[in-house]
Amino acid sequence: MKHHPYIYAILVLLLLSGCGSLGIGSGSSVSLDQEWQLGDQMAAQVAQQMRVGTDPYITQVGERLHAQTPLADRPFHFYVVDDNSVNAFAVPGGHIYINRGLIAQADKVDMLAGVMAHEMSHVVARHVIKQAEQQQAIGAIGSILLGQNPNALAVLVANIAAGGAIARFSRTDEKQADDMGLALMTRAGYDPHGMLDMFGKLLALDRSGDSSVARFFADHPGTTDRIHDIEGRINKMASTRGTVDDPAYQSARRRLGAA
């Protein structure tokens, strides 16, 4: 794998920087331009490691949400992963991945929007960059800097996609992504109950022993408490009207073999 010079500069910053204060689109010593460059490199690696594609309707939902973020002026990309397990993840620079198995469980478009808004909020809050900064001694970054492992970036991406240490956000980060995501999907015109319905369904599947949701719960801790928090926030909203479902979404699910 060929490494471009700017990747080394970005990773030097990741290794040497301290933990910045968390903010929306800020709070990191890595600039947004650098993050987007790094994200493009990581997305190229995801495409090599997993079967990913795009779908026009899934992209439409993503862009409807993206338009309401403080990063609407930067490109976001939305991918469907050909994987029957229930999961979703994001990498820096606006790359959002939704497993086909999750779409199969998202019966209505507001449920899908809730998951996508949550993952997009991780990007907006720059949680992945924050994790990298907190783990300054992470072997993958060090080996890339020293030129000792030409596949280190690929390993780092695999770690994120599989829910490794750098992808496991704290409960505080997860709650922030829930809160931001709930506000985001509501501003975008989706019924916020969709997030509550999605988490509730996945929790019921997990309690029934369905192994397909195991990775989701490994990556998204504290779901029971978070459901209660989401329900409380919805109850305080002045209005919860919004799109619940769409025939075009059901067509997309059939097209993707998820319905």
121-161 per-position pLDDT tens digit: 999 998 876 775 565 434 444 454 344 555 666 766 776 66
Residue type, 178: D
Longest dimension (CA), the chain: 56
What is the rounded CA–CA span in Å between residue 111 and residue 98?
12
Give the H or E element holding residue 178.
helix 171-187
**pLDDT number for residue 160:** 67
Q: Which two tokens stand for residue 79?
A: 């991918």
Q: Which two tokens stand for residue 78?
A: 């939305």
**pLDDT number for residue 184:** 96
How many residues appear in the chain? Answer: 259
What distances in angstroms separate CA 120 from CA 61, 63, 124, 183, one per listed residue? 12, 11, 6, 12
**pLDDT number for residue 8:** 35
**pLDDT number for residue 205:** 87
What distances in angstroms separate CA 235 from CA 174, 192, 229, 230, one per listed residue? 20, 10, 10, 9
Enumerate residues 6+ apart whose C-beta is below 8 A from 60.
Answer: none
Distance, first Cα to last Cα, the chain: 38
Secondary structure class of 171 (helix, strand, coil) = helix
148 burial type by CB count under 10 A (0-12 exposed, 13-18 middle, 19+ buried)? exposed
Task: Say how many domains are in the chain.
Answer: 1
What is the rounded CA–CA span in Å between residue 123 and residue 21?
15
**pLDDT number for residue 150:** 52
Over the chain (259 residues), the average pLDDT of each successive run of 10 is 39 32 49 80 85 97 97 97 91 92 96 96 86 52 46 67 60 89 96 94 86 72 79 90 96 93
Q: Which two tokens stand for residue 131?
A: 């994790």
Q: Which two tokens stand for residue 136?
A: 């300054």
Pairing assessment for the beta strands 77-81 and 52-53 based on DSSP bridges: antiparallel
**pLDDT number for residue 152:** 63
**Domain that residue 19 falls in:** 5-255
What is the rounded CA–CA span in Å between residue 26 and residue 28?
6
Q: With beta carbons less than 8 A apart as the criterion, state whether 67 and 188 touch.
A: yes
**pLDDT number for residue 212:** 79
